[in-house]
Amino acid sequence: MLFSVELIEELENLDPQVRSAFLKILKLIEKAIGEVVKREDFLELKREVERLAKAVAELAEAQKRTEQRLTRLETVVAELAEAQKRTEQRLTRLETVVAELAEAQKRTEQRLTRLETVVAELAEAQKRTEERLNELAEAQKRTEERLNELAEAQKRTEEELRQLIGEHRKTREQLGGLSHAIGYVLEDRAYKGLPALLKRDFAVESIEFIRRDYIEISPNRYEEINIFGKAKTNDKEQWILGECKAQLKKTDIDSFLSKVRRVEPYLKGEKILVTVTYQASPPVRKYAEEKGIKLYLSYEMPL
């Protein structure tokens, strides 16, 4: 065989198309060699064939490295494809997020539009409020002026009222003096008229005294009694306690009874309770009778 086994093995490593081309070349060489007659030419051809085999071996090695690089390239391309796939997925998600953001932006713009409307309405309301405040300020100014006028009038009124109070105080003092005078007149008439009336109504035998007096109910504490007297019947002491009022009222009766309760512990013996008045209504007369008080009217007393 013209070609070595090593050359044949190297050809097996080549790409089928390349290997087919080399085999055709080798067949042509082998055919040409069969037609050559000189040994020297054969040897030269053999050397060429060996160089060709070496080149083929180198080409096969290069082809092998190329396939390895292609394999790595395929791996990289596959990785790039996977990365591209993930990128597309992320882009899809991003598109979704962007769409959601766009929708949110749309809603935000709608809210902003409504907010602008509300702000405009608030501005208008603020304007009306300021106008109202200006009106109120003007009204307040007028009110203050009116208050100043009223204060001045009040000042004059107070001055006039002080004068009236002074005059009223004088009138009350005069009336009080008159009332006391009337009361004292009634009491004086009672001191003269009661002895006969008490003998008539209570069968009193003798009266030691009848006068205005004070009863000491505790150290330095006294109760004033308008009508205070002492009588005797069947050798028994009797105390006469009474009240004089120009116009008798139920409250006067209650006040008198309270006074009687306070002095009663200091007066041993029977108590004769009387009242003397210019005027008393029927209910007051009945109330006095229910409380055990003998009521005398002024006309029963001598002048």
- Structure confidence at residue 182 as a pLDDT band (50, 70, 90): low
Q: What is the pLDDT of residues 213-246, one digit of tens each?
A: 999 999 999 999 999 999 999 989 999 999 999 9
Q: What is the pLDDT of residues 246-263, one digit of tens each?
A: 999 999 999 999 999 999
Asked if the model's pLDDT at residue 116 lies above 60, the reply is yes
* Domains of the chain, each with CATH number or no CATH: 203-300 (3.40.1350.10)
- Which range has the worst mean pLDDT, 17-21, 33-37, 187-191, 192-196? 33-37
- At 168 the pLDDT is 60
How far is Cα of residue 113 from the mean position of the Cα atoms in its chain?
Answer: 33
Interatomic CA distance for residues 27 and 211, integer angstroms: 182
DSSP 8-state symbol, 14? S
- At 225 the pLDDT is 96
Q: Tell me which H or E stretch contains 226.
A: strand 221-233
Q: What is the pLDDT of residues 122-154, one digit of tens each?
A: 888 888 988 888 888 888 989 888 888 888 888
- Structure confidence at residue 184 as a pLDDT band (50, 70, 90): confident
- At 112 the pLDDT is 80
| Average per-residue pLDDT for the chain | 85
| Average pLDDT of the segment spanning 95-114 | 84
| Average pLDDT of the segment spanning 49-78 | 83
Interatomic CA distance for residues 1 and 33, integer angstroms: 11
Interatomic CA distance for residues 208 and 236, integer angstroms: 12
- At 95 the pLDDT is 87
- Which range has the worst mean pLDDT, 89-103, 165-179, 242-256? 165-179
Tokens of residue 103, six digits: 């929708």
**Contacts (Cβ under 8 Å, ≥6 apart) of 180:** none
- At 197 the pLDDT is 96
**Closest C-alpha to 9, from 57, 67, 47:** 57
Asked if the model's pLDDT at residue 177 lies above 50, the reply is no
- At 183 the pLDDT is 60
Decide which of 32 and 123 is more confident.
Answer: 123
- At 288 the pLDDT is 98
| Average pLDDT of the segment spanning 290-296 | 97
- Which range has the worst mean pLDDT, 93-97, 208-212, 232-236? 93-97
| Average pLDDT of the segment spanning 284-303 | 95
Angle subtended by helix axes 16-35 and 39-202, to nearest 10: 180
Interatomic CA distance for residues 20 and 16, integer angstroms: 6
- Which range has the worst mean pLDDT, 1-10, 51-60, 70-79, 265-274? 1-10
Q: What is the pLDDT of residues 76-93, one digit of tens each?
A: 878 888 989 998 898 889
- At 172 the pLDDT is 57
